[in-house]
């Protein structure tokens, strides 16, 4: 596939202060580039520029807005396609990115920016991401020798109800896919903002792991997280919540799935989202 040097393609996440998150994003971008024959660049919205470059093979992490500016300084009438590595319509995608893009386009009014769709739309019947989560659950159960474990699908938690709706949608799909292979399934958020206005994030993971039947026996915590980091990485917040629950209950055994950004099946969805953005005129 040929492409113009005046075009740029950016795969972006929210960002992390953990090197493993940046490195994961780069691997996904490289794999997606191999699949699409496009030079996909890995960038973050925030935070990642604080990671020590020595932990990143000597290559500093890049942020989206400066990367866009650098591209349009070279190609003032060029184009950029932005591909979000996000499950749903977080405030980063509905507010922050449009505002930053508008600021960039004020400087480069002849440039063009296209924003690809996020990964999951509860209005359609696409089960591919749920199939990834279900496969991860099966992998953990098989490795542990567990039969019919209980499952908790957990996301970060969001101030946006539409993001919680994505989690609930994936939970329903995973429950249907696993069927009789599991005893029960719940959805949960890692954390939430205070106040009734954010109650759609309930229940919290810490609460579910103290509530029957998820407070005993064998439980797989299915991470609805794309990359490792402060929350989903080794020694992260989710791991701490699970360890605390097990310390409180002798008969509770919890194992977590891996983040899913590097699952090959996700690349197919990302390639489709990229194509959708490129088709928009």
Q: What region, left, alpha or beta, does residue 260 occupy, with left being phi > 0 and alpha being psi -120 to 50 degrees?
A: alpha
Does residue 108 sit in the same domain as residue 48? yes
Tell me what pLDDT residue 2 has.
40
Does residue 196 sit in the same domain as residue 97? no
Domain region containing 60: 7-118
Does residue 87 sit in the same domain as residue 39? yes
Strands 184-189 and 252-256: unpaired
- Which of these three, 68, 85, 118, is where a domain ends? 118
Residue 77: is it exposed, middle or buried by C-beta count within 10 angstroms (0-12/13-18/19+)? exposed
Query: Is residue 77 within 8 Å of 111, Cβ to Cβ?
Result: yes
DSSP code for 118: -
DSSP code for 224: -
Tell me what pLDDT residue 87 has.
96
Does residue 93 sit in the same domain as residue 137? no
Q: Residue 114 contacts by C-beta under 8 Å, 6 or more apart in sequence?
A: 79, 80, 81, 82, 277, 278, 280
Does residue 111 sit in the same domain as residue 133? no
Tell me what pLDDT residue 228 has.
84
Query: Does 17 map to a domain?
Result: yes
Does residue 110 sit in the same domain as residue 140? no
Does residue 159 sit in the same domain as residue 70? no
Q: What is the mean pLDDT of each run of 10 residues along the chain (281 residues)?
A: 74 93 96 96 94 94 97 97 96 96 97 96 92 97 97 94 96 98 97 90 95 98 90 85 96 96 91 85 52
Query: Is residue 25 within 8 Å of 39, Cβ to Cβ?
Result: no
């Amino acid at each position: 596939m040929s492409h113009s040097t005046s075009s740029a393609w950016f795969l972006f996440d929210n960002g992390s202060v953990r090197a493993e998150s940046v490195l994961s994003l780069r691997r996904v971008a490289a794999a997606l580039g191999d699949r699409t024959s496009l030079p996909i660049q890995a960038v973050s919205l925030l935070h990642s520029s604080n990671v020590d470059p020595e932990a990143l093979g000597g290559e500093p992490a890049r942020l989206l807005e400066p990367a866009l500016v650098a591209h349009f300084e070279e190609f003032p009438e060029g184009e950029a396609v932005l591909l979000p590595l996000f499950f749903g319509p977080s405030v980063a995608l509905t507010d922050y990115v449009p505002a930053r893009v508008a600021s960039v386009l004020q400087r480069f009014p002849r440039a063009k920016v296209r924003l690809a769709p996020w990964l999951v739309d509860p209005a359609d019947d696409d089960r591919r991401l749920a199939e990834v989560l279900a496969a991860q659950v099966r992998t953990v159960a098989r490795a542990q020798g567990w039969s019919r474990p209980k499952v908790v699908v957990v996301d970060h938690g969001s101030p946006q109800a539409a993001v919680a709706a994505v989690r609930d949608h994936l939970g329903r799909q995973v429950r249907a896919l696993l069927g009789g292979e599991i005893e029960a399934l719940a959805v949960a958020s890692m954390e939430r903002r205070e106040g009734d206005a954010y109650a759609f994030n309930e229940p919290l993971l810490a609460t579910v792991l103290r509530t029957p039947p998820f407070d005993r026996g064998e439980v797989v915590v299915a991470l609805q997280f794309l990359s490792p980091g402060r929350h989903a990485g080794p020694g992260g917040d989710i791991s701490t919540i699970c360890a605390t629950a097990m310390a409180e209950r002798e008969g509770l055994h919890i194992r977590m799935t891996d983040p899913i950004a590097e699952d090959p099946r996700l690349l197919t969805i990302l390639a489709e989202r990229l194509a959708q953005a490129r088709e928009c005129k």
